[in-house]
Amino acid sequence: MQDKIIQLISDIQEGNYKALARAITIVENNLHGYDSLLKQLNNKSKAQVVGVTGPPGAGKSTLVSSLIKHWVEEGKNIAVIAVDPSSPFNYGSLLGDRIRMSEFYNNQQVYIRSLASRGALGGLNPKIIEITDVVKQAPFDIILIETVGVGQSEVEIAGLADCSIVTLVPEAGDEVQTLKAGIMEIADIFVINKADRDAADALYASLRIMVHQKAGADEQETPVIKTIATKSDGIAELTEAINKFFNNNHFNDKKLYLLTEKCWQLIQANRMQDVNKTLLKDELAAIMNNDEFNLYTYTQKYMR
């Protein structure tokens, strides 16, 4: 089995998309060889991980498609991990970003994989960290991750992407203040998509004020870019802002934060894997009305 895993990773590193798809399936579903595969991954990847997040209806998929087109024209190899909402019945993907990005389906420079969120609250798949690290083994220049779009809980993307793009639409102007404490805090770049709509200029001005107030004396302000993704307007400016972010000296500080955050999430997931919420509910149902019941004493058996 070990030899097969080593060969699989070797095939991925050579750009074999079928091998990559097989490895992602192994990791996503905890199939035989899952643990061995992850332990064979190296840390040599130069791929830049760009997260695209924002509320539903912001045009994230169209924005991602425009970014792909721009980078493909520059000769870059792109991977897209598109996380879709899940069916509540079978946890399968309800939307298919591969369909929405169909013009790149047969393009050898582009690999697209749709994942279901499977009930994860952060707008991401529960195995997204491991899957992203598997994709990093392939010779991609950029890995784009598009989240479901579930509001403030999407801050989880900040613990995964090297560069987090928060996408908004002009109609979100009245909501900006309420987003301050959540999704607004994780943006490395703000994008106002559908900027040909009314109120785009007002939202742009509001965001510029916010990023100016947030930036410290020695910090650069978070860029605010206006785009019309359906026409590819503003995409060149956005890719320029992304490049500038990666060339910024502060990026190394974020890399340490990302590594710490990912390590924390992996340890947390491992510690929780033997806790069955359904069984927990059944146990609590049987004892919750006992006069002697104490929640903190009960939870001690899980604290070892």
- 226 shares a domain with 209: yes
- Which pLDDT belongs to residue 52? 92
Other beta carbons within 10 Å of 92: 10
Mean pLDDT along residues 164-176:
78
The reported pLDDT for the residue numbered 281 is 93
Strands of the sheet containing 48-53, edge to edge, are: 110-116, 78-84, 142-146, 48-53, 163-168, 189-192, 224-226
Q: Are residues 203 and 81 in the same domain?
A: yes
Q: Does residue 84 sit in the same domain as residue 154?
A: yes
Structure confidence at residue 183 (pLDDT): 63
Pair 191, 63: CB distance under 8 Å: yes
- pLDDT for 12: 97
Mean pLDDT of 209-233: 86
pLDDT confidence bin for 56, thresholds 50/70/90: confident
Are residues 220 and 248 in contact, defined by beta-carbon separation less than 8 angstroms? yes
Residue 192, CA atoms < 13 Å, CB-side half-sphere: 23
Structurally, the chain folds into a number of domains equal to: 3
* Same domain, yes or no: 49 and 34: no
Does residue 143 share a domain with residue 90?
Answer: yes
234 shares its domain with 282: no
Residue 97, pLDDT score: 47
Is 3 in the same domain as 138?
no
- Asked whether residue 220 falls in the same domain as residue 291, the answer is no
Residue by residue, DSSP assigns 168-222 as E-GGGGGGHHHHTTTGGGG-SEEEE-STTSTTHHHHHHHHHHHHHHHS-TTSPPP
The reported pLDDT for the residue numbered 103 is 80
What's the pLDDT score for residue 182? 59
User: Does residue 77 sit in the same domain as residue 37?
Assistant: no
Q: Dig out the tokens for 46 from the structure.
A: 């130069």
pLDDT tens per residue, range 247-294: 986 777 777 888 888 888 888 888 888 888 899 999 999 999 999 999
pLDDT, tens digit, 9 for 90 and up, residues 228-243: 999 999 999 999 999 9
* Nearest CA among 78, 99, 51 for reference residue 245: 51
Question: Which CATH number covers residue 84?
Answer: 3.40.50.300
Asked if pLDDT for residue 212 goes beyond 90, the answer is no
Domain that holds residue 282: 274-302
User: Domain check: are 26 and 122 in the same one?
Assistant: no
Both 157 and 196 in one domain: the answer is yes
- Looking at the fold, whether 146 and 20 belong to one and the same domain comes out as no
Tokens of 300: 């001690």
83 — pLDDT class (breaks 50, 70, 90): confident
